[in-house]
Amino acid sequence: MELFAGGGGLAMAVHRAGFRPLLVNEIVKYACETLKINVAEPRRGERIPASGERWPLHEGDVRDLRFEYLWDRVDLLAGGPPCQPFSLGGVAKGDEDKRNMFPEMFRAIREIQPKAVICENVKGLLRPSFRPYFDYIENELRLPFEERDPDVTWREHDTFLRARLAEPPTDPKRRYDVVTTTVNAADYGVPQVRHRIIVVAFRSDLGVDIGKFEEAVQPGYSEAALFRSMVDGSYWKRHPKVPARVRRDVMARVPHVLPADDDKLPWRTLRDALKGIDGGRPLPPVPWDRLDRREYNHGGVTDHIGWPDARIYQGHTPNELDRPAKTVKAGVHGVPGGESVLLTDDPIVDPIDGTPYTYRHRYMTVRETARVMTFPDHWKLAGPRGEQMRQLGNAVPAALGEFFANKIADALDEAESRR
């Protein structure tokens, strides 16, 4: 079951890992339209869908949902609950932001008792000013059935939970073992630097080997390996048409002394994404005379539309092709500033005063941004460009979500085999 599904990144990833969607929830209009275009349909009553049916989608506020009909039927509860930033001084008084949706995740757990839970969220939840409250969120996840009284502050409830956690569980099905992993998506094969936290919980009665799971979710890609691949030439063999000037400029920025071999795969770059990862086809180039906001026959690729007036200015530096992309963000009007601008291989004929860049730049298309988020090309995004980019900025990169979902499936299968 997926809550706060957005444009479908995590839901798609979990499905790829072999989990069958029983219920998907989202409230944002265009995100719902995206889900319906691709995989979902409005749900018809409280029923378990048959294998192969489109995903049942509840369009609306999660607080209006009741989950009891799914009791003990859900292997994995997934979602990225909104947790708006607010000061510790405010929450100390019990005035948590009403947009904080973690309590709805805990309510869903109480009503369905899933075997496992996965949540993705921003790394900012670990900042010092917020960390005590995040520790409380983890404790709530460990003991979700110990529901907090509305008149009790979070600090008081946290003290109670810590005391209960020090005691042996009376019912292991009502307690969860929690693993929080700080990730950079680039370290997991995503062509984007994106720092997040992934919180995974397993029901204690299942006996999942937590230490083994923590080892299984260690990253397998590195920047050092990318540098080594450039030096030994294997990176350039994948991209034989890169102009010599561009290659020289890139190699000039590679450290002279390389880190020791870490036995990891090279970070994937924006150039890798545009060419096509794991057998994908290259995206056609965007002609400079077609930055006109108009769709045209572009090799059958949707949402690959040139956009005019891209600017580079202080604090908004562009994406470079031979690095992972910068973090895709969900601004008010789509991806903000330099996060959606890329430097191309085309040199600037007439130098521009005051800029250190010698290559032409343009906005990334929606499809290029979707590639950076490891969304497949067949996944269509609803709404105008700004709304499409917002969905991508709010999403979980599909490859990152699939990696963790696969490791969860492995852990559940192994625990089941021992029972």
Q: Are residues 179 and 290 in the same domain?
A: no
83 is known as an active-site residue: yes
Are both 195 and 232 inside the same structural domain?
no
Q: In terms of domains, do 210 and 237 share one? A: no
Alpha helix segments (H runs only) across 239-379: 244-252, 270-275, 366-372
pLDDT in tens, 108-153: 999 999 999 999 998 988 988 889 999 999 999 999 999 999 899 9
Same domain assignment for residues 325 and 411: no
Domain identity same for 190 and 243: no
Provide the whole-model pTM.
0.94
- Block residue for tokens 């192969």: 52
- Is the separation of the CB atoms in 169 and 188 below 8 Å? no
Query: 95 or 101, which is more confident?
Result: 101
What is the CATH classification number for the domain harbouring 292?
A: 3.90.120
152, HSE (Cβ side, Cα atoms, 13 Å) = 12
Of 14, 35, 83, 325, the active-site residue reads 83
Residue 273: is its pLDDT beyond 90?
A: yes
Tell me, rounded to whole angstroms, the distance of Cα 19 from its chain centroid: 18
Please say if the pLDDT value at position 278 is more than 60: yes
For the chain, the domain total comes to 2
Confidence check: pLDDT of 224 > 50: yes
> Does one domain contain both 172 and 230?
no
| Closest C-alpha to 372, from 409, 342, 332, 403 | 342
What is the average per-residue pLDDT within 85-99? Answer: 57
- Do 390 and 401 share a domain, yes or no? no
Same domain, 204 and 98: yes
What CATH code is carried by the domain that includes residue 160? 3.40.50.150
One domain, residues 338 and 412: no
**248 and 334 belong to one structural domain:** yes
Q: Are both 404 and 376 inside the same structural domain? A: no
Of 178, 169, 150, 148, the closest CA to residue 160 belongs to 148
Question: Domain range for residue 199?
Answer: 2-219+397-418
